[in-house]
Structure 1
Amino acid sequence: MTSINDLIDNSKMLQLITERLDHIPKNEAINQLEMNHELIELILNLYNDDEDFSFEKMQKFSVDDILSYLQVTHQYYLNKKLPEIEQSLLHIFSKYGQSHQLLASLAFFFNAYKNKLIDHIRMEENQLFPYIKEMIIASKMKSKCIENLEINPCFSIEKFISSHSPIEDELKEVSQIIKQYSGNEAIPLPYKIFLNQVDLFELELRKHAIIEDQVLVPMVIELEKKLRIPLSN
């Protein structure tokens, strides 16, 4: 069982989950998420135990609730977590680039991964999430009105699943490669901090993927099924 408790205590874990709420875009109408303590508590339970977690408990929330949480998390990653890790990279490079050339060069494995992650997030923000929003709207409308929606006919959850790679696995591989090659080195403290940040972020992404794949996607699949049945006037 993957547990973040190996790296962080429960109070810090709660902070890890709730601090993303500071990154809710002011122009987005998702501020109700801040008050949804029940959802946050369930997510905290998921962070504690993703093996025995009851996903049925999350079915009581709407697709909007889950989607809002994932959107906020994307902003949190882009505006806080990635910049923090990049700052550690810059510090390592500036201070140890000459004396620990191997460590400095290995750290840039993460930089390549960061670009992949940003592309991954942008794809979801530009394709998946707008598609889901249109599906939510369509599920609340009469069939004759659905035709006016801008639902991408070339996109579906099935296609998303088939092309959706577990990007968190790539980060774990990056972390393992870095540790393997730096295992015989006297690792400076800033580098240890960097590795700890990478480990925490990998766990973060894994929990994010669980919510996305095992909660959001099944909900949207159900929406798609309902929309295949003509709605009565």
Structure 2
Amino acid sequence: MKHLLFTERMKMADLVHANYRLLFVLPRFGIQLGFGDKSIGEICRTHGISSSLFLLVCNIYTFDDFLPEADELHSFTAEDLTAYLHQSHEDYIREQIPEIGKQVLSLAGCCAGKNGKILERFFDDYSREVTNHFNYEETVVFPYIHNLSEGKRSDEGYSIGQFEKNHSNIEEKLGDLKNILIKYLPDLCPGGPRNRLLLDLFLLEDDLNKHSLIEDRILVPLVEQLEERMR
């Protein structure tokens, strides 16, 4: 479905008002707040960003049914996309996950020993899974795409179809952690910190879901086009 809400002529500030979750996206493109009344096109040109890729990402974050047109995938490079995805991984690993980890430890310290340990264990397991997921993309998928972009064939018989087939859903484990907070953590544990942690987990879950959609709806078809050219 084609949406026309976000265009280059739109003010960047209006973009944030339209969908506050795009605050996660801006720094991954190197864009900081304080852009006045400049348009999306102006900001993208100033930062050397592909406005087409930026708008595609923003549309996917905003419209659940948004699907890029095939010709839109020719308006930026695979390297542009993997650079954005890499910055997303850095944000999750260095910022969002550690910040939530601090909240988990703080809340666990206020609960009875057993309950606090269960909460910590579930978060540690999730954190490891996320790290392994991103490491695979950084060490296997992105180098493969880089070689394709330079016209080099893979000697290992790897293809983006294997990535798509085994693309794990790293949001699912968050459901277990949320259920502990909602259903099973005794009400003796402080409500304020628990609610704040839950809100951040819901935001992270939604953000990771959009991240996966970007890989499924932009990365995979784009790399499939590169593979077709190599054939």
TM-score category, normalised to shorter length: 0.7 to 0.9
1:179 match: 182
Q: Which has the higher contact order (CA 8 A, sep 6+)?
A: 1
In 1, the alpha carbon distance for the partners of 2:19 and 2:114 equals 37
Would you say the 8 A contact 2:126–2:174 is kept in 1? yes
Matched to 1:42, the amino acid is L
Shift of 1:45: 2.5
Query: C-alpha separation between the residues in 2 aligned to 1:20 and 1:34?
Result: 13
> Does the 8 Å contact 1:18/1:40 carry over to 2?
no
1:156 aligned to 131, 147, 159, which one? Answer: 159
Query: Is residue 17 of structure 1 aligned with residue 4 of structure 2?
Result: no
- Match in the other structure for 1:220: 223
Is 1:72 the equivalent of 2:72? no
**Aligned equivalents of 1:152, 1:177: Cα separation in 2:** 46
Contact 2:28/2:84, CA 8 A, preserved across alignment: no
Instruction: Give unpaired runs (5+ residues) of structure 2.
Output: 1-15, 32-45
RMSD: 2.9
Residue type of the partner of 2:28? R
Q: What is the aligned partner in structure 2 of residue 29 from structure 1?
A: none
The match for 1:116 is 129
Contact in 2 for aligned 1:107/1:178 (Cα 8 Å): no
Per-residue deviation, residues 147-194 of structure 1 (Å, max 9, x unmatched): xx6x34142212222222222223234323542323866652112111
Report whether the alignment pairs 1:86 with 2:94. Answer: no
TM, length-normalised to structure 1: 0.74
- The one of 136, 144, 150 aligned to 2:149: 136
Task: Give the match for residue 35 of structure 2.
Answer: none
Change in 2 beyond 3 A, CA 1:21/1:87: farther
Matches within 5 A, 1:5-84: 10=18, 12-21=20-29, 35-51=49-65, 53-56=66-69, 58-59=72-73, 60-84=75-99
Identity in percent: 28
**Letter aligned with residue 112 of structure 1:** D
Aligned positions of 1:90-101 closer than 5 A: 90-94=105-109, 96-98=110-112, 101=114
1:28 aligned partner: none
CA distance in 1, matches of 2:86, 2:47: 11
The 1-side partners of 2:123 and 2:186 are apart by 17
Aligned position for 2:212:
209
> Could you tell me how far apart the structure 2 residues matched to 1:67 and 1:178 are?
35
Mapped to 2, the partners of 1:37 and 1:161 lie a distance apart of: 26
Structure 1 unaligned blocks of 5 or more = 1-7, 24-31, 139-145, 229-233
Secondary structure of 1:167's partner?
coil
